[in-house]
Structure 1
């Protein structure tokens, strides 16, 4: 019987074994690329930041030197293992578009926090790799460090950055959570994925706030995901109506992608399955949340990180767009909320329904 440790010799054999183990751990996609800098990728990032399209996400600019390349963050890195976990939904993410008394929460936030789930699987893969390659060093990342997961995913062949700037997979559509392992191993690189968007404009044309100045370019300052999650103050009035009933994130540009027809929820980890109370929540119940109630409801959810005040602000904009005068009973007390941003949103919502 051949010892498994003995088979991990040579770059090609190692990558094959890593891929097998990654899929056994629940990763739907895995690829390999170099940790060296890509000048074109760096140029695009610098141009995007230079135009101010990152909005108030100062960390994007402050750690630009780390984002230039994996080696900019960790000079000893030689290779990157790019991985994706599917969260393909079973239900239509846009089904609640016309149901004003209900709130829409982005698909990715309806289950367990993907940071915790993906990192747990990455660490398991990292432990396995160290056991078989004890002289190697590695670091794991899931969206909490200056790592360019989407360009690295494209370079490693697990998908391509679509016109909506998110990664698209021929097998899993637009529904992939991304993670990365930086390693000192010199691994055989995968073929970069070619762009397969063609002439399609579905994602660009679906955006309620015109957040795409052009294909492959996102202005975060106009993006509903940015506005409802990252933006801390009052949302500009020009965007309040287009928010509709979206209270956390937006799936529109992802949901309309034709490549989603190949995605299957069979690959979706059980932790990402939606919680019943988050698939079609009633705005009246969400508007009644105090800080303690908010923390209880969103324990273990990525929504918890924005806090009660920003969350209720979003719900108030949705209430103002609902056409449901019955929500005025929940809105009125919030016009005197201690948080001035919440009070401002409540006054706006009240005026819309008056």
Structure 2
């Protein structure tokens, strides 16, 4: 860092926030790097093995909760929020209710958010250096061991709700987060008041009971984990509860009262592609691997992999109303080269009385 000693840090902080808004971020805050309480909660969560097969959650020791160990020299974290609820999108609940359609978590309908936010954060870092000269920084968007929600909370971007998502009282929770680790000693913002109160809507509605207590999620039961992070078989005890959710789950956000204040995005990058906001399950199950690769290019959907995609859609088809079309498309995959796919297709056919 070569910033002049006469730098007005408060003024610089305000300028950074204004710069961020011009780059399309909906809110910006600055956090200190003390995450001791969050570190203790993370270690308890890992000890209870609630991370499931997400071994990466434990691979980096305490770097996840100690920013200065992850990026030496870090003294502050600039945290940004970008809203993603599409302004032109099929009604989420209507799609969930129509078991002939596949439900995809709203964040994954458009362009991969990692790329969108990362590019803009790098621009922000460049503009900061235009003002103060070379600095030490790193940009992260869900791409490194970072406790992003805890940092965003400490930066005043919202509070962590009982479903463990961040909530902003004027914008709900339909937004992405990104971080800029910096060696600039900017004044840190203050956390906001937690406003979940006595509400337990998210706990009550969770289809698989993954929110095991307020502010505690067991990933091994979470539909987002089961359909995205889990690479093997989905436990049979959860398959019926998954319904038609083929990539992620939004139920805890859909039921949250604070999302009546959610801001619809005007970012074209997050607009639904290929009609995926209300797509027919039979059509999705018929995609060849080349079609899947083409239609998920630049999308977060790639994380599930093609076999994982077919596994998920097979489960949804097992939960769909019985029809000749559903049975036919499942039979077409009954001898698929992937044992994972074959297993879930067999289960789905059994739900329609075919063994």
**In which range does the TM-score fall when normalised by the shorter chain?**
over 0.9
- Unaligned residue ranges in structure 1 (runs of 5+): none
Indicate whether 1:58 and 2:49 are aligned: no
Matches within 5 A, 1:94-133: 94-133=93-132
Indicate whether 1:198 and 2:197 are aligned: yes
Indicate whether 1:305 and 2:271 are aligned: no
- Unaligned residue ranges in structure 2 (runs of 5+): none
TM-score (norm 2): 0.95
**Which segment is superposed worse, 148-157 or 193-202?**
193-202
- 8 Å Cα contact 1:130/1:137 also seen in 2: no
Q: Following the alignment from structure 1 to structure 2, what is the Cα–Cα distance between the partners of residues 93 and 137?
A: 42
| RMSD, aligned α-carbons | 1.5
Q: Following the alignment from structure 1 to structure 2, what is the Cα–Cα distance between the partners of residues 89 and 324?
A: 32
Residue 312 of structure 2 is matched in structure 1 by: 314
After TM superposition, give the deviation of residue 276 of structure 1 in Å: 4.7
Q: Following the alignment from structure 2 to structure 1, what is the Cα–Cα distance between the partners of residues 61 and 329?
A: 44
Change (3 A) 1:153 1:219: same
After TM superposition, give the deviation of residue 156 of structure 1 in Å: 0.5
Q: Following the alignment from structure 1 to structure 2, what is the Cα–Cα distance between the partners of residues 294 and 225?
A: 20
Deviation per CA, 1:102-151, whole angstroms, max 9, x where unpaired?
Answer: 11011000011101111111111011111112132111000010011100
Match of 2:12 among 11, 14, 22: 14
Q: Following the alignment from structure 1 to structure 2, what is the Cα–Cα distance between the partners of residues 29 and 13?
A: 17
Q: Following the alignment from structure 2 to structure 1, what is the Cα–Cα distance between the partners of residues 231 and 274?
A: 28
Matches within 5 A, 1:157-172: 157-172=156-171
TM-score (norm 1): 0.95
Matches within 5 A, 1:1-354: 9-35=7-33, 37-90=34-87, 91=89, 92-265=91-264, 267-325=265-323, 326-354=325-353
How many equivalent pairs are there? 347
Q: Following the alignment from structure 1 to structure 2, what is the Cα–Cα distance between the partners of residues 23 and 88?
A: 18
- 8 Å Cα contact 2:274/2:295 also seen in 1: no
Q: Following the alignment from structure 1 to structure 2, what is the Cα–Cα distance between the partners of residues 171 and 23?
A: 16
Q: Following the alignment from structure 1 to structure 2, what is the Cα–Cα distance between the partners of residues 196 and 89?
A: 25
After TM superposition, give the deviation of residue 69 of structure 1 in Å: 1.5
Q: Following the alignment from structure 2 to structure 1, what is the Cα–Cα distance between the partners of residues 95 and 202?
A: 18
